[in-house]
Amino acid sequence: MADYHFPTVVRPSIPAHAIMRLELALLTGMFDYEPDGDAIYFYSSEGPSDTIWLDIAELKDMLEDEAMPSGTIGEMVRHKLDEAGADETELELDLSDLGEAAIFQNIVRRCDQLDHVAIVSAWTCTRMRPDGFGGAVTVVTGDHVLSSSTCEMERRLLDRAEYGELGCAPGHGRHGILILREEDVRSTVANVQKAYAEADVGVVEVADEHIRQACIAVIARLDLDEQLRRIKFDAAMTAIRIARGTPA
């Protein structure tokens, strides 16, 4: 009989002060863990546990903690407590629907020291089964939970092998036109300040935070609909010329 394992690491380590009591109880039930300075390193040699057991009295005390935010996690635990019998002292929690990503996302949203958390897993098997090996990564930010796997990488590589770089395979067909990179804005700031060294703009200190805020603000003000219509028309006419065999 083959056993499947999902060794998992969470990086970076999570600052201990950013983890609420209930979150800590859930995470330490799902993962192995060890101290990493003022932070906690979470990992699992076989994969995070979907089911954990917690003391009901301690859970109620955690939920009464004023610092504990409301949300999916708290609501799930409260619902399970309401269903528990009067003589029960321990609560079984099935976390398969909630998932560790939801817990880490709440922490990322509160913690200034984190802009993301990456949950990286390897898929292994005690026998050389063709379906027993691979891996996956989930990136958790304050706004997004994004996942990819070696299976998805395989599909993309097969698409490239079959369709080439034209990317005509299903799921492709989107082409980035402009990317506003913060490092380019930083370089432009330096050029502007050099050009106007004697003016006020030449001496003001521009932090990375200011650049990020500026990029977000500028993008929000842009109206590229007309430019996009022109680009689509130009692409359509170019496709027609290519199909007719005339120069693009």
Per-residue pLDDT tens over the stretch 188-218 = 988 888 888 777 776 788 888 888 888 888 8
Smallest CA-to-CA distance from 174 within 216, 222, 218, 235 is with: 235
Same domain, 128 and 213: no
Same domain, 206 and 128: no
**pLDDT in the model for residue 87:** 84
Same domain, 137 and 188: no
The more confident residue out of 11 and 242 is 11
**pLDDT in the model for residue 137:** 96
Rounded to the nearest angstrom, the gap between the alpha carbon of residue 186 and the centroid of all alpha carbons in its chain is 25
Per-residue pLDDT tens over the stretch 39-71 = 999 999 989 998 999 998 888 888 876 555 556
Q: Is the pLDDT of residue 125 over 60?
A: yes
Same domain, 131 and 214: no
In the predicted model, what is the mean pLDDT of residues 233-245?
A: 86
Same domain, 67 and 136: yes
Q: How many domains does the chain have?
A: 2
Whole-number percent of the chain with pLDDT over 70: 92
Domain end call among 142, 174, 200: 142
CA R_g for the chain: 25
**pLDDT in the model for residue 193:** 83
Whole-number percent of the chain with pLDDT over 90: 33
Classify 78 in phi/psi space as left (phi over 0), alpha (psi -120 to 50) or beta: alpha
Same domain, 138 and 235: no
Same domain, 131 and 225: no
Same domain, 14 and 116: yes
In the predicted model, what is the mean pLDDT of residues 71-80?
A: 80
Same domain, 50 and 113: yes
Same domain, 119 and 19: yes
Tell me, yes or no, whether 34 lies in a domain: yes
Chain mean pLDDT for the chain: 86
Phi–psi pair at 146, nearest 5 degrees:
-120, 135
Domain end call among 83, 110, 142: 142
Tell me, yes or no, whether 160 lies in a domain: no
Domain end call among 90, 113, 142: 142
Tell me, yes or no, whether 214 lies in a domain: yes
What range does the domain containing 238 cover? 182-244
Confidence of residue 169 (pLDDT cuts 50, 70, 90): low
